[in-house]
Chains A and B, each alone.
Chain A
Amino acid sequence: DTEVTQTPKHLVMGMTNKKSLKCEQHMGHRAMYWYKQKAKKPPELMFVYSYEKLSINESVPSRFSPECPNSSLLNLHLHALQPEDSALYLCASSQESSLGAEAFFGQGTRLTVV
């Protein structure tokens, strides 16, 4: 199983809503990532979790709050987002952060903030 599963696939939310994006992998990977991708741009790194601990936060606004409940799951909690936060949010995992291994990506959640 080389799959990273993200839910939901599409999400429309208002600026006052609270929602969560979910990501799951069963490859035994110990590093998990959140990326944001705008149209015609490459994915931009937001957060890195290593062994369920937040290791890197790329100065992401606090309206995005990551959580890693266990080694297979990664959430991204959203609150008070702005229309410019509309994007494709990609989750990825890799074997272990220190190994420099390749990352496997989920299909993403396409988020629209209205």
Chain B
Amino acid sequence: RKEVEQDPGPFNVPEGATVAFNCTYSNSASQSFFWYRQDCRKEPKLLMSVYSSGNEDGRFTAQLNRASQYISLLIRDSKLSDSATYLCVVNIMYSSASKIIFGSGTRLSIRP
């Protein structure tokens, strides 16, 4: 079983739509959680960290459920510029160091 699983999509939605991405993780040693965004042929960039209390940054809302080992990202009022691959990322603590592990990514296309 993969350590971080995501719906690969693709999601193709009209501008202004609300879209939700889900992610599950399997390792209980996971200590921190993030959503990254990656544009075509570019490096991944941090979109937001994810906290148990839920957090919001403008049109983006992230949620973490530790009991269910489930992470979500909600994008409201989507813009053309939101088109990208969204990667669920988990930091897993091991004895010597921690690993930052990526989900498979969900591709989002916003159409005019």
**C-alpha gap A25/B44 in the complex (Å):** 16
- Is there an interface contact between A56 and B32, defined as CB atoms closer than 8 Å? no
| A101: B residues at CB distance < 8 A | 32, 91
Asked if B1 CB lies within 8 Å of chain A CBs, one says: no
Asked if A55 CB lies within 8 Å of chain B CBs, one says: yes
By beta carbon, the residue of chain B nearest A55 is B97
- Is there an interface contact between A105 and B45, defined as CB atoms closer than 8 Å? yes
Asked if A104 CB lies within 8 Å of chain B CBs, one says: yes
From A44, A50, A105, B44 is in contact (CB under 8 Å) with A105
Query: In the complex where A100-B91, A107-B42 touch, is A31 in contact with B49 (Cβ < 8 A)?
Result: no
Interface centre among A43, A92, A108, by most B CB within 10 Å? A43
Asked if B101 CB lies within 8 Å of chain A CBs, one says: yes
Q: Is the interface of B mostly helix, strand, loop or mixed?
A: strand
Kindly supply a per-residue 1/0 record for chain A positions 12-44, scoring 1 wherever the CB is within 8 Å of any chain B CB and 0 otherwise: 000000000000000000010100000001111
| B105: A residues at CB distance < 8 A | 42
Query: In the complex where A41-B104, A42-B105 touch, is A31 in contact with B45 (Cβ < 8 A)?
Result: no
The 9 closest A-B pairs by CB, nearest first: A55-B97, A100-B32, A42-B102, A97-B97, A105-B43, A100-B31, A55-B96, A50-B97, A100-B91
- Is there an interface contact between B101 and A45, defined as CB atoms closer than 8 Å? yes
Kindly supply a per-residue 1/0 record for chain A positions 87-111, scoring 1 wherever the CB is within 8 Å of any chain B CB and 0 otherwise: 0001010100110111111111000
**C-alpha gap A102/B31 in the complex (Å):** 11
By beta carbon, the residue of chain A nearest B103 is A42
> What are 25 A-B residue pairs whose CB atoms fall within 8 Å in the complex?
A31-B97, A31-B98, A41-B104, A42-B103, A42-B104, A43-B44, A45-B101, A50-B96, A50-B97, A55-B96, A55-B97, A56-B96, A90-B43, A97-B98, A98-B93, A98-B98, A101-B32, A101-B91, A102-B32, A102-B46, A102-B49, A103-B100, A105-B43, A106-B43, A107-B43
**C-alpha gap A43/B104 in the complex (Å):** 9
CB distance from A45 to the nearest CB of B (A): 6
